[in-house]
């Protein structure tokens, strides 16, 4: 007797791959050690681990991330969304006086699926009551520490590439990279269209600035980042950082960074926006333009910012990607449970 099922293709689940010898238990043992060492690193540096709610009536608002809405067994949509990041909940705790905190657990995003993406994945997110540079040093120190624990080396091997981790990562200003590689201003849609066309990309006339910017990042900027092994891209357009502080000297740019290892985007962080009025305006604008629909804004989050979010910086790191890189794999499915 077999159960009736729908037409959804059978997933290549972890247990099948293990049972058939297509996946090694050693990868999962190494994953467990990495997660244990991440917790050790943050606890020894004085952080409090927090366990924030996974489901909330208020989704994270980001124009390029799609929250998963919860349905009941009959298919009726509920008022709950699975969190795409613990950021709002963690900032409420920061406003209440938590001090330095970290989260290590599952997050969920719809429309995700590739060798580097999954709709469910493990995220490390942390906040320091210090400038952004401190968080960037955390990235460098944590990954160097993990590489030593896993491979007894201060480098990561990726095919023929050896990426040293015993020195500060290269800092690259994003606007400089765009001018160098595309000969364009990264904030001008027509310049981006012309620059991509010169490189043979053939962008469509209907592609928006967002489309062109992300296309340039994926097709042009990320391969350049791979040349540097371990690097940070800094200074992103402010329109793409809903909760990032704008630079005083250049308000069109946010104090934000992305960290790359061998061309793989691993971590995203920024100096946090603490102005409650500016944050409310940004979130209301995002709620209206997200996927063409209006999403609810969490008034409690705005209340917390009004109570007083301290000067702080934070980052979110994809743990599955990090494990993949540390173990020399090319697909996160080789190091996670699915």
Cα–Cα distance, 140 to 166 (Å, whole number): 9
- Inter-residue contact 85 to 316 (CB < 8 Å): yes
E-assigned strands of the chain? 48-49, 55-56, 68-71, 77-82, 101-108, 120-128, 155-158, 161-164, 170-173, 230-237, 253-261, 264-271, 313-318
Tell me, yes or no, whether 3 lies in a domain: no
Tell me, yes or no, whether 2 lies in a domain: no
Tell me, yes or no, whether 167 lies in a domain: yes
What number of H helices and E strands is found in the chain?
A: 11, 13
Mean pLDDT by 10 residues, the chain (338 residues): 51 90 93 97 98 90 80 83 94 97 95 81 97 98 96 88 93 95 93 93 88 92 92 93 91 96 95 92 75 73 93 97 94 91
- How long, in residues, is the chain? 338
Cβ neighbours around 120 below 10 Å, total = 15
Give the dihedral of Cα atoms 220, 225, 227, 229; nearest 10 deg.
-160
Q: CA 259, 260, 261, 265 torsion: positive or negative?
A: positive
The b-or-e profile of 30-52 (16+ CB within 10 A means b, else e) is bbeebeebbeebbeeeebeebeb
- List, in order, residues 6 or more apart from 19 with CB less than 8 Å away: none
Tell me, yes or no, whether 87 lies in a domain: yes
Query: How many CA atoms are closer than 13 Å to the CA of 166, on its beta-carbon side?
Result: 6
Tell me, yes or no, whether 6 lies in a domain: no
For residue 246, CA distances in Å to 235, 241, 330 come to 9, 9, 35
| Edge-to-edge order in the sheet of strand 77-82 | 55-56, 77-82, 68-71
Instruction: Provide φ and ψ at 179, rounded to 5°.
Output: -65, -40
CATH (domain of 168): 3.30.930.10
Per the structure, the complete domain to which residue 214 belongs is given by 14-334
Tell me, yes or no, whether 88 lies in a domain: yes
What is residue 4's predicted lDDT score, i.e. its pLDDT?
46
What is residue 293's predicted lDDT score, i.e. its pLDDT?
60
- Inter-residue contact 124 to 300 (CB < 8 Å): no
Instruction: Provide φ and ψ at 260, rounded to 5°.
Output: -125, 140
| Helix 87-95 × helix 299-308 angle, to 10° | 40
**In 3D, which of 319, 317, 196, 175 has the Cα closest to residue 250?**
175
Cα–Cα distance, 72 to 67 (Å, whole number): 16
pTM of the model: 0.92
What is residue 292's predicted lDDT score, i.e. its pLDDT?
54
Terminal-residue alpha carbon distance, the chain = 26
**In 3D, which of 163, 180, 190 has the Cα closest to residue 224?**
180
Domain count for the chain, please give it: 1
């Amino acid at each position: 007797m077999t159960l009736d099922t729908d037409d959804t293709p059978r997933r290549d689940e972890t247990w099948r791959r293990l049972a058939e010898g297509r996946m090694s238990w050693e990868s999962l043992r190494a994953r467990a050690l990495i997660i244990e060492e991440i917790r050790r690193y943050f606890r020894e540096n004085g952080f409090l681990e927090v366990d924030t709610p996974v489901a909330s009536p208020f989704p994270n608002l980001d124009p390029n991330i799609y929250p998963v809405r919860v349905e009941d067994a009959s298919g009726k949509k509920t008022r709950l969304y699975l969190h795409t990041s613990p950021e709002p909940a963690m900032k409420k705790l920061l406003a209440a006086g938590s001090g330095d905190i970290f989260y290590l657990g599952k997050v969920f995003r719809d429309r995700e699926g590739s060798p580097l993406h999954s709709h469910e994945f493990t995220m490390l997110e942390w906040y320091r009551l210090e400038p952004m540079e401190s968080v960037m040093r955390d990235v460098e120190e944590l990954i160097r520490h993990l590489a030593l624990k896993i491979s007894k080396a201060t480098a990561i091997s990726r095919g023929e590439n050896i990426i040293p981790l015993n020195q500060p990562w290269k800092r690259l200003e994003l606007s400089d990279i765009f001018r160098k590689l595309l000969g364009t201003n990264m904030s001008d849609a027509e310049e981006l269209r012309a620059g991509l066309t010169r490189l043979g990309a053939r962008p469509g006339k209907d592609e928006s600035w967002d489309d062109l910017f992300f296309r340039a990042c994926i097709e042009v900027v990320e391969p350049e980042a791979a040349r540097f092994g371990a690097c940070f891209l800094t200074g992103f357009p402010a329109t793409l950082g809903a909760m990032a502080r704008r630079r005083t000297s250049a308000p069109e740019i946010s104090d934000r960074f992305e960290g790359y290892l061998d061309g793989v985007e691993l971590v995203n962080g920024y100096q946090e926006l603490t102005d409650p009025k500016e944050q409310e305006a940004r979130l209301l604008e995002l709620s209206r333009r997200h996927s063409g629909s209006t999403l609810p804004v969490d008034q409690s989050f705005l209340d917390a910012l009004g109570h007083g979010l301290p000067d702080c910086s934070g980052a979110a790191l994809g743990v599955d990607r990090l494990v993949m890189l540390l173990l020399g794999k090319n697909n996160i499915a080789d190091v996670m449970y699915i």
